[in-house]
Chain A
Amino acid sequence: MKILRQFLIILLYSFIGEALNFFLPLPIPASIYGMALLFLSLMIGWIRVQDILEAGRFLIEVMPVMFVPAGVGLMTSWGILKPMLLPVSVIIVVSLITVMAVSGLSSQWIVQHTRKKEEDLSDE
């Protein structure tokens, strides 16, 4: 019954997210509303992390499998994609690499910079 109760809480947040997505005129999906609200509830202490932990861990662990149907769905968009194949492929590959490099390196630089500053301070 424990896992069932945990799953109920997670579904409840998904459902609230769905409702917000329906009633608010923003292009934000149910899952993002749900995630933000669950995070807030954990912070405030409305929900304890152990109230959702096992079911939550399981869902996160098997998450990659949930993308298989969307990936297989690419076989139906092949016809539409074909005329734009070259620009689409180049844009996908180039932006994947540049975004990872810029966001990763900029945050890494700040992390290391802050750490160095703290070390300098503690040396004094």
Chain B
Amino acid sequence: MNDFLTVSAYAGVTISIFFYLFGMFLKKKFKFGFLNPLLLAILFTIVLLLLSGVDYDTYNTGAKYLSWLLTPATVCLAIPLYEQIQLLKDNYKAVLVGIISGVFTSLFTIFVLALLFGLDHQEYVTLLPKSVTTAIGMGISEELGGYVTITVAAIVITGVLGNIFGEMILKIFHIKEPIAKGIALGSAAHAIGTAKAIELGEIEGAMSSLSIAVSGILTVVGASIFGMFL
């Protein structure tokens, strides 16, 4: 069985999409906020792999084609951004201030917590780029000499948590403006948070898409400065 699954080009994709749609079904049926289709799909797939003894690389022979689509999908985030260009022009100050303060807060919080936990330099720079999109974050971690695998894990966990709890956090802090919602999600939880922002609305999605790019690029510069502090 494992032999067949190792060569199967469709198993990984099929399982992933099936569990995602099953997650959507559960969310609609039970209407709990924490029933997040992405989280459910990840958990169900992990459980299935563990139960059947299939390892990740085997699963990924098929599932990698889903990841392959991420680059073209991210490129397409230019579309909502273009459609909201007027709004962007009218609110460029709010957008810039939101993203810049988000990048600074991320680096500063991680710096303070790293001091509190007594992390060494390598552990610190591993976590510095954890709020930005995976490809940029990996590059920064590598450049500064961090543990790239842990950086990737931290980035994915941040995104998934942002996707699940983002709406709740926005509510707690009374963030109601669509522009502000999008910037908060994109700055804190990159592309996975943006997937949630797109569900919330067109403005939220556009602002969140912009935040991924701008905060990612600012973090390249910011992280190399903050990397010198510890």
Contacts and interface: CB of A to CB of B under 8 A. Distances in A.
Contacts of A55: 76
A32 B45 CA distance: 29
A59 B46 CA distance: 25
A70 B50 CA distance: 16
B16 A65 contact: yes
A101 interface: yes
A107 B177 contact: yes
A90 interface: yes
Interface of B is mostly: helix
Contact of A27 (B60, B101, B143, B180): B143
Interface in B147-163: 147, 149-150, 152-154, 156-163
Given A28-B217, A39-B82, A95-B109, A105 B74 contact: no
B188 A74 contact: no
Nearest to A99: B188
Contacts, number: 321
B41 interface: yes
A77 interface: yes
Contacts of B37: 64
B98 to A, nearest CB: 3
Interface of A: 7, 10-11, 13-14, 17-18, 26-32, 34-36, 38-39, 42-43, 49, 52-53, 55-57, 59-77, 80-81, 84, 86-88, 90-108, 110-112, 114
A50 to B, nearest CB: 11
Contacts of A70: 67, 134, 152, 156
Interface centre among B37, B41, B152, B209 (most CB of A within 10 A): B41
B11 interface: no
B66 A102 contact: no
A69 B109 contact: no
A42 B82 contact: yes
B154 A88 contact: yes
Contacts of B159: 67
Ranked nearest first, the 3 interchain pairs of A and B with the lowest CB-CB distance are: A27-B139, A107-B98, A29-B135
Nearest to B219: A27
Contact of A42 (B78, B157, B195): B78
Interface in B136-151: 136, 139-140, 142-143, 147, 149-150
B230 interface: no
Interface in B196-222: 198, 205, 209, 211-213, 216-217, 220
